[in-house]
Structure 1
Amino acid sequence: MATIPAAQSPAQGLRPAQSLRLSLGLRQLVVLAACLTMFAIVLFTPRVLNDGDTYWHLAAGNWMLGHLQVPHVDPFSFTHAGQPWVAHEWLSEVIMALVYRAAGWTGIVVLFGLATALAVGLLLSRLARWMGPIALAVTAWLSIGCMWVGLFTRPHLLALPLMVFWTGALLDARAAGRAPPLWLAALLVLWANLHGSFVFAALVAAPLALEALVEGRRDPWPVVKSWGTFAGACLVAVLLTPNGVHALIYPFQIMTMKTLNGIIEWLPPDFRTMSEFQAAILVTLLVCLSRGVKAPFFRAVLVLFILHMSLQHQRHTLVLALIAPLFLAEPIGRSFGRTEPRRLGPPQAAAVLFAVGVLVMTGIRAVEPVRRGDAVTTPQTALAHVPAALQARPVLNTYSFGGYLIFRGVRPFIDGRSDMYGDDFFSRDIRLMRGDAAEFDKAVQQYGLAWTILQPREPLAKLMDAKPGWRRIYSDRWAVVHARVDALEPVPSR
């Protein structure tokens, strides 16, 4: 991720003190503008709600509020009911459910807008130590652009401020030549209960610990003792969840699934057209190659590893956008002659302006509250045309519809919890959606499928029109519904 060094101040005619005040003010203005932009993007862009997983996260939160416990088995689907499920995002889901109950979808976008704005603010406030306003603005644009692919109202966004704060605190500890403070491990208790991305805490800490060990190799014991104590405290912290050791294993379990390429966000990024991600890579290479940037070895390895992850799975570009700039800012800044970091001015004025901007935009959003209608993950009208008695019977659904079905009290065949369903079942679902007639007949016999709700583009949807004993009962641009003839309620005679 590019962290472009500071441009020369335009206020050449001012005295040094005046020029410094102007520079600090401009940098604060860039941070403020970026935070408000991030908040506005989440608040007013319909795409952030276009993910079916949001629905089942809300349903899970409501279930936990209703039962006052965290589920350890699946309470939602009919194919895996009662089977083990690690609800590793339970705290995020409870927060989402509470906000939804209080303020509906408008509250949801405000919640996630604040989380992402805070993450951007924490990031840019640290980068401003080594950058001027122009460089900071360019980096903000590139970072926010790279975050775009993951901007959906799901728990991972609530963990982003913790990721930035954690990384910054570790870098501060290394700059001071000491191990991170033990209180920082307590942050992992919150992070581990919000989202499985807490594993990135170890990914960030490991190269810095190795760096400290190499630096103190002549007398390694103090480093081993201090960093080892911190690592032990972190391990205890991440085990303090309702899922215990299962929460620790879960992130690695999903990373080893063989069917991840069936989910869009786990596909590699598309380089056929220019994107902010491509621009970030190219600009970073340009700056580093032209200025002879020298990054510490282990830090460079970390940045390249996260880049590798982003090239494999586009969902990780969001992580790259927030972590890589923190590691590259200082070496790039030093390559342009900076010798010491500069602090931003007092944050009070910027905080007040941000609060005013948030209140104004929230008021505008509240005038026309967010409403969810038919969309690629929300077959609202189609489901409304399915008789209640039929909704209670087993259904075969498109993967992305599963969350909405759960939200509406319908038990799905499959939904976004791919880790729970596993590779074999997910592979079977892919074969079904591709129109494997034999696999479909087996599923009907095994589960007693009475109806289907599919996206029109699915090959299976076209197959159903010619399937004996089945009838299309509704279709629109978003969804098509078929039902077994013998499952339909008889039409009363007039």
Structure 2
Amino acid sequence: MDYSRFYRPLIQFFVYTYSLNTFTYAYVDPDLYGHITFGREIWEQGRVPEIDTYSYTAYGHEWINHEWLMEVFMFLLYDVWGSPGLLLVRVLLGLSIIHILSQLYFAKANNLFAYALYFICLAHALGLGFAMRPQLITYLFIPMMMYILHQYFDGNKRGLFLLPVIFLIWVNSHGGVVAGIGIFGVIVGVEAVRGLLYKTQTWKPLAVTWAVSAAMLFINPAGYHLLAFFAETIPYRRDITEWFPVTVFDDSHLFFKALVVLFFISLFSKKPKHAWEVLIIAAAIVYGFKHVRHTVLTSLLMTPFVPIHLAAVIERFQQGKTPRHLPRLVHVVVAWFLIGFAAFQINYQWFRWSGNEFQIQVKKFYYPVYEMRFLKENNLNGNILTLMNWGEYLIWHLPDSRVSVDGRYWTVYSPKLLRQNMIFHNGWEGWQHFLKFYRHDIILTHFNNMDLENLEGWVKIFQGPRARIFVRTSKPYHPAYLKYRQKQFRFNNEPPSWHFP
């Protein structure tokens, strides 16, 4: 009996259900509030806003929104199906990625141990980036692009026409399109050099497809200004955790590091390799260690190459050894174990989410939930000086207020402004100067800058478990300060709901 054919669907089902642990990430990303809000505005107004109206520090400033199409999609999804719809689509996107890459593997290899080992590590490596954000479209389109290109090199040229369509959607959905067109360009360049050296013509259809795909990048609401924005901002370092480097010699990002080790092992395979594959993966690994954010893209780019050549290394190691035939009872036990584990995973996720009514959760003590409720119930609005990660949370809950900064980062705000905002909230040297630059009405901040407690011209009106609220005491008096003096505030001690939003 051919046990590989018997085990393959079981192993695949095992990998897919194991991956659910990654794709059912329980908590809401800070930017989700903004993405749905901005998507609603675009849908209702029938156009993509060109200037900012959500902040008071950059009000009227040019806004390059390169994620508008995904934001409209996310708004419509939430408007029709709510939080469960967002969760379901995220799971479907994740499983689609695993399925595309699995099909690519089994088209060229059939070693089930190499498949299971690699894809379980991959599922963990993907976990870092699988929040409900527009970047999910990049995580889907990278495998789709690589699948189409590998099919082309295997003799199936029909899929090439899909690539310009993918890039047209991609450029209006997420900035990761730059990585996509760059990777495609490297493939075309390497194949063109090979074609000139060995007098082959396979590179020409690729070059034409790349040129058409590159032209698609100009079809977006900002036109060539979007590409200029990418060129200006991509090289700069960002003061965001996910843009920090991956430290090599510690226990962080272990599964990503495991995939890198497997890549170097796979290089010992004697199976023919495309030069562009090794080149792209080597560059991706450098970027993966340079920026935490890129570990997911690096892992995806390694997948069409590593498990296939890892399988060849394993089979080469086993060559000449007599295979050991196990009793049929052992195979039955293993099969039932795989089925049982997969069933456990499905049941675990079902009970986990049914207990939460299939709602995405607001992480306790990450967001200023109690403080936000105090502002809403007392009808306190104005210019709110807040942390970047809370900005879009405020935009959602206090639509009549404006924020100092939010997660749109350089698409709206200057690096200097973002830095000034960070200095203020952390109480670093010169933090007081930021108060002079803009007309702030309310401060919503965490506990890092304790000097605020004694700041002249401001008074603390509320303190919750996550944040403090201060209001300006100078004339003209803000309504919040007048309510504070007249002791008119309402205080709600009831526990809040932790369901999104």
TM-score of the aligned structures, taking structure 2 as reference length: 0.81
Confirm whether residue 67 of structure 1 aligns to residue 50 of structure 2. Answer: no
* Counterpart position of 2:19: 38
* Counterpart position of 2:464: 476
Confirm whether residue 412 of structure 1 aligns to residue 413 of structure 2. Answer: no
Letter in 1 for 2:368: P
Q: Would the alpha carbon gap of residues 373 and 233 (structure 1) be closer, same or farther in structure 2, given more than 3 Å must change?
A: closer
SS at match of 2:261: helix
Q: Would the alpha carbon gap of residues 255 and 397 (structure 1) be closer, same or farther in structure 2, given more than 3 Å must change?
A: same
SS at match of 1:473: strand
* Counterpart position of 2:337: none
* Counterpart position of 1:489: 482
Q: Would the alpha carbon gap of residues 23 and 55 (structure 1) be closer, same or farther in structure 2, given more than 3 Å must change?
A: same
Q: Would the alpha carbon gap of residues 280 and 225 (structure 1) be closer, same or farther in structure 2, given more than 3 Å must change?
A: closer
Choose 309-318 or 140-149, whichever is displaced more.
Answer: 140-149
Letter in 2 for 1:109: L
* Counterpart position of 1:426: 418
Q: Would the alpha carbon gap of residues 183 and 476 (structure 1) be closer, same or farther in structure 2, given more than 3 Å must change?
A: same
SS at match of 2:403: coil
Percent identical = 18
* C-alpha deviation, 1:252, in angstroms: 3.4
- Determine the C-alpha separation between the residues in 2 that align with 1:169 and 1:60: 33
* C-alpha deviation, 1:407, in angstroms: 1.2
* C-alpha deviation, 1:319, in angstroms: 0.5
1:134-170 C-alpha deviation (Å, 9 max, x unpaired): 2111111111111122121111113322210111111
Whether contact under 8 Å (1:213, 1:220) holds in the other structure is no
SS at match of 1:83: coil
Confirm whether residue 107 of structure 1 aligns to residue 90 of structure 2. Answer: no
Letter in 1 for 2:4: S
- Determine the C-alpha separation between the residues in 2 that align with 1:264 and 1:190: 28
Confirm whether residue 398 of structure 1 aligns to residue 387 of structure 2. Answer: yes
* C-alpha deviation, 1:477, in angstroms: 2.9
Letter in 2 for 1:465: E
Whether contact under 8 Å (1:197, 1:251) holds in the other structure is no
Q: Would the alpha carbon gap of residues 71 and 184 (structure 1) be closer, same or farther in structure 2, given more than 3 Å must change?
A: same
Whether contact under 8 Å (1:39, 1:114) holds in the other structure is no
Summarize the alignment of residues 69-88 of structure 1 with structure 2, pairs less than 5 Å apart.
69-88=47-66
Q: Would the alpha carbon gap of residues 204 and 143 (structure 1) be closer, same or farther in structure 2, given more than 3 Å must change?
A: same
Letter in 1 for 2:96: L
- Determine the C-alpha separation between the residues in 2 that align with 1:223 and 1:169: 14
* C-alpha deviation, 1:222, in angstroms: 4.4
Whether contact under 8 Å (1:265, 1:314) holds in the other structure is yes
SS at match of 2:189: helix
Confirm whether residue 172 of structure 1 aligns to residue 185 of structure 2. Answer: no
Q: Would the alpha carbon gap of residues 39 and 65 (structure 1) be closer, same or farther in structure 2, given more than 3 Å must change?
A: farther
* Counterpart position of 1:452: 443
- Determine the C-alpha separation between the residues in 2 that align with 1:180 and 1:110: 28
Match of 1:297 among 256, 275, 288: 275
- Determine the C-alpha separation between the residues in 2 that align with 1:429 and 1:143: 37
* Counterpart position of 2:320: none
* Counterpart position of 1:379: 368
Match of 1:162 among 141, 144, 158: 141
Summarize the alignment of residues 24-423 of structure 1 with structure 2, pairs less than 5 Å apart.
24-43=5-24, 45-47=25-27, 49=28, 51-129=29-107, 130-176=109-155, 181-218=160-197, 222=201, 225-258=204-237, 260=238, 262-271=239-248, 272-273=250-251, 275-289=254-268, 295-335=273-313, 365=353, 368-369=356-357, 370=359, 372-373=361-362, 375-386=364-375, 391-408=380-397, 409=399, 410-419=401-410, 420-423=412-415
Q: Would the alpha carbon gap of residues 292 and 27 (structure 1) be closer, same or farther in structure 2, given more than 3 Å must change?
A: same
Q: Would the alpha carbon gap of residues 36 and 257 (structure 1) be closer, same or farther in structure 2, given more than 3 Å must change?
A: same
SS at match of 2:367: coil
* C-alpha deviation, 1:452, in angstroms: 1.0
Q: Would the alpha carbon gap of residues 92 and 470 (structure 1) be closer, same or farther in structure 2, given more than 3 Å must change?
A: same
Structure 1: tracts of 5 or more residues without a match: 1-13, 339-353
- Determine the C-alpha separation between the residues in 2 that align with 1:208 and 1:403: 39
- Determine the C-alpha separation between the residues in 2 that align with 1:379 and 1:493: 22
SS at match of 1:483: strand
- Determine the C-alpha separation between the residues in 2 that align with 1:304 and 1:66: 45
Total equivalences in the alignment = 449
Letter in 1 for 2:13: L
- Determine the C-alpha separation between the residues in 1 that align with 2:362 and 2:130: 19
- Determine the C-alpha separation between the residues in 2 that align with 1:336 and 1:492: 77
SS at match of 1:472: strand
- Determine the C-alpha separation between the residues in 2 that align with 1:475 and 1:293: 63
* Counterpart position of 1:350: none
- Determine the C-alpha separation between the residues in 2 that align with 1:68 and 1:250: 23
* C-alpha deviation, 1:94, in angstroms: 0.7
Letter in 2 for 1:406: I
Choose 310-319 or 66-75, whichever is displaced more.
Answer: 66-75
* C-alpha deviation, 1:492, in angstroms: 4.3
- Determine the C-alpha separation between the residues in 2 that align with 1:366 and 1:113: 15
- Determine the C-alpha separation between the residues in 2 that align with 1:304 and 1:368: 42
* Counterpart position of 2:454: 466
Q: Would the alpha carbon gap of residues 282 and 477 (structure 1) be closer, same or farther in structure 2, given more than 3 Å must change?
A: farther
* Counterpart position of 1:7: none
Q: Would the alpha carbon gap of residues 133 and 163 (structure 1) be closer, same or farther in structure 2, given more than 3 Å must change?
A: same
* Counterpart position of 1:342: none
* C-alpha deviation, 1:475, in angstroms: 2.2
Choose 276-285 or 229-238, whichever is displaced more.
Answer: 276-285
- Determine the C-alpha separation between the residues in 2 that align with 1:364 and 1:103: 19
Whether contact under 8 Å (1:393, 1:450) holds in the other structure is yes
Letter in 2 for 1:26: Y
1:181-213 C-alpha deviation (Å, 9 max, x unpaired): 234222211222221111222232233223322
* C-alpha deviation, 1:402, in angstroms: 0.7
* C-alpha deviation, 1:295, in angstroms: 3.9
TM-score of the aligned structures, taking structure 1 as reference length: 0.82
1:453-485 C-alpha deviation (Å, 9 max, x unpaired): 1122x2x2x111121232222223322222223
Structure 2: tracts of 5 or more residues without a match: 317-341, 489-501
1:78-103 C-alpha deviation (Å, 9 max, x unpaired): 11121111111111111111111222
- Determine the C-alpha separation between the residues in 2 that align with 1:183 and 1:106: 31
Whether contact under 8 Å (2:111, 2:311) holds in the other structure is no
- Determine the C-alpha separation between the residues in 2 that align with 1:253 and 1:358: 45
